[in-house]
């Protein structure tokens, strides 16, 4: 029992090294860059439907953080919607449990064309720690066609924003040809 208290006392107060964020541009700059391709391709507003397909909620917490007052992606035109009929793209988290497989397919089919699917997190990409379990489909690609992947366990909000910017720029370049 005393070892637990000793470990707590010796643990540094800053668990994440501040130098780890130097690789990413500041979130505000990245968010402002997102608004340009949104104006050109989605008339200034990108509607995202998130489906939790059996995840541990780690990725969802990072996606929810995008809406808090620090990142506030909604002011730049990125909105999370409740209905797949209003969605421009579908973000799926989790390894897709067998219980969520049909609901995920119905959500995908309810989306308007063209349908974009992004697998968010290692669980959604390849099953993660749940891979080859009897209750999962080992990733979204085994259920739906996946257009893009955002790796991480879970990916951080700056990583999600940077990946979303890259995806939007990639779509803009692809649409010019």
Is the pLDDT score of 51 beyond 80?
A: yes
175 band by pLDDT with thresholds 50, 70 and 90: low
Is the pLDDT score of 13 beyond 50?
A: no
**pLDDT at residue number 73:** 86
Q: Contact at 8 Å (CB) between 158 and 24?
A: yes
90 band by pLDDT with thresholds 50, 70 and 90: very high
101 band by pLDDT with thresholds 50, 70 and 90: very high
CA gap 95, 142 in Å, rounded:
10
Mean pLDDT of 96-103: 93
What separation in angstroms does the CA of 167 have from each of 15, 130, 159? Answer: 30, 27, 12
pLDDT, tens digit, 9 for 90 and up, residues 114-160: 889 999 998 999 888 888 889 999 889 999 999 999 988 889 898 89
The answer to pTM > 0.85 is: no
Cα Rg, the chain, nearest whole Å = 18
Mean pLDDT of 16-35: 60
Please count the other Cβ atoms lying within 10 Å of the Cβ belonging to residue 94: 29
* Architecture of the domain whose range is 43-172: 3-Layer(aba) Sandwich (3.40)
Domain positions in the chain: 43-172
- Chain centroid to Cα 47, Å, comes to 13
Mean pLDDT of 82-94: 93
19 band by pLDDT with thresholds 50, 70 and 90: low
């Amino acid at each position: 029992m005393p070892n637990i208290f000793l470990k707590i006392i010796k643990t540094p107060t800053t668990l994440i090294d501040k130098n780890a964020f130097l690789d990413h541009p500041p979130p505000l700059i990245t968010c402002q860059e997102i608004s340009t391709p949104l104006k050109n391709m989605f008339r200034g507003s990108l509607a995202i439907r998130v489906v939790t397909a059996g995840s541990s909620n780690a990725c969802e917490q990072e996606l929810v953080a995008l809406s808090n007052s620090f990142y506030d992606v909604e002011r730049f035109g990125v909105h999370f919607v409740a209905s797949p009929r209003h969605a421009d793209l579908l973000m799926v988290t989790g390894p897709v449990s067998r219980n969520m497989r049909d609901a995920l397919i119905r959500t995908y089919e309810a989306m308007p064309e063209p349908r974009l699917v992004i697998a968010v997190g290692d669980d959604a990409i390849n099953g993660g720690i749940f891979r080859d379990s009897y209750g999962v489909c080992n990733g979204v690609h085994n259920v739906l066609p996946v257009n893009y992947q955002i790796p991480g366990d879970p990916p951080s909000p700056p990583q999600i924003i940077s990946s979303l910017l890259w995806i939007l720029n990639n779509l803009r370049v692809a649409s010019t040809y």
